[in-house]
Structure 1
């Protein structure tokens, strides 16, 4: 049996300028990261959409050294906090 290597969309360190979103998308799609940067710059000039797309990518794409994204980390922390609070909102002591 041959093993398939699945491509994962991640923010990368290689070619990173700010948060690694463009370099991660470029690597995933197979194009130069500068092409992604140019596209986002053009979208930013025409209505500011590029900044929003970049911010969403930064929040939703995990870093190459982590399995979860920033949003997933925040959600799991909230769920842990809810599970340790009783009905009155007070924190239960951790065992």
Structure 2
């Protein structure tokens, strides 16, 4: 599992400090140099299309490292459950 989380960290995409919920849109905006408002608008438009927008957002929330402490929520959960 450690290799999986190392790959996730190597992407350079993190949940940003500018958050409403999990910081995913803020992280995407920071990574690509786009105002977070435009990322949020794009996400809302994406939500109107048929598809799993909420599921993708939730998965990114659990998988992307936090910009403050590089912590990945899913990794911490698995470590607390004893999964290696």
* TM-score (structure 2 length as normaliser): 0.71
**Displacement, 1:16?**
1.7
- The answer to whether structure 1 residue 24 and structure 2 residue 5 are counterparts is no
Q: Retained in 2: the 8 A contact 1:7–1:28? A: no
Contiguous gaps of at least 5 residues in structure 1: 1-5, 83-95
Structure having the higher helix fraction is 2
9, 14, 19: which is aligned to 2:13?
9
List 4+ stretches of structure 1 deviating above 3 A. none
Structure 2: how far apart are the matches of 1:51 and 1:38?
14
* TM-score (structure 1 length as normaliser): 0.64
Structure 1: how far apart are the matches of 2:79 and 2:31?
26
- The answer to whether structure 1 residue 50 and structure 2 residue 53 are counterparts is yes
Contiguous gaps of at least 5 residues in structure 2: 1-9
Residue 49 and residue 43 in structure 1: after superposition, are their counterparts in 2 closer, same or farther (change >3 A)?
farther
Structure 2: how far apart are the matches of 1:60 and 1:79?
18
